[in-house]
Amino acid sequence: MITRRLAGLLLVAAALVTAGCATNPTSISAQWSSPSIAGGAKVQNVLVIAALRDSTQRRMVEDRMVADLGAAGVKASPSHRVLPDSAEVSEDQLRQAVTGAGASHVLITSISGQTTDVRITPGMVTGPGWGPGWGRSPMGPSWGGMSRYYNTAWARSTPPEVRTTQNLHGDTRLFDVASSEVVWSAATTTVTNRGDVPTLIDGFVRLIVETLKKDGLI
């Protein structure tokens, strides 16, 4: 009983360690902060916009970003409540949305491109073993035999391995409403093979908010 309990505890611990070590599918590729915000007041009110064609994913990104910013003490509003799902938004529409939200800043996220990485690990073929690989003795198979030859031949060849990674590149910018200038930006790369859409969005939003904290904006 003690052994089973110990084994169970070890399995739980291993699962927790594995979950804690899981890597974020999104990473920062490049980042910039305007010198004008150095030592300035922290961002207090943000209108969050995800410039995405997929309206469902737009809402998912904006709602998750609003939630994480709220947890960090920032008042935030999703744009999907006030801006339509369209290819273009006029400056007047955007200004009205900003005024309605009482926002001092606008955080806009978009997709800037997509790339595919292909990594090939070469295969390996070793030379044949010595001798024909057959023979029997009165006591059974000797050093060779048909199975021995087959196993050796099979092990001599290692096929090449091809790994394909799909990368989604994002561009996130923080605008100061008063000046209409970009005061912070980050380019991100998300490995889409590492999870479903909600998982990828969670990782992306978490990284953006953590970086804003680190840079002293929130």
Task: Specify the CATH number for the domain of residue 67.
Answer: 3.40.50.800
Contact 176, 44 (CB under 8 A): no
- Would residue 160 count as lying in a domain? no
Of 49, 63, 180, residue with least CA distance to 109: 49
Q: What range defines the domain where residue 77 resides?
A: 25-114+166-214
User: Does the residue 96 lie in any domain?
Assistant: yes
Q: Is residue 102 part of a domain?
A: yes
Would residue 110 count as lying in a domain?
Answer: yes
Q: Is residue 50 part of a domain?
A: yes
In a domain, 19, yes or no: no
| pTM, full prediction | 0.73
Distance between CA atoms of 169 and 109, rounded to whole angstroms?
11
pLDDT tens digits in sequence order for the chain, 218 residues long: 444 444 444 444 444 444 444 589 999 999 999 998 877 889 999 999 999 999 999 999 999 999 999 999 999 999 999 998 877 888 888 999 999 999 999 999 999 999 998 888 777 766 555 555 445 555 555 555 677 777 777 666 777 788 888 999 999 999 999 999 999 999 999 999 888 999 999 999 999 999 999 999 99
In a domain, 106, yes or no: yes
| Overall domain count for the chain | 1
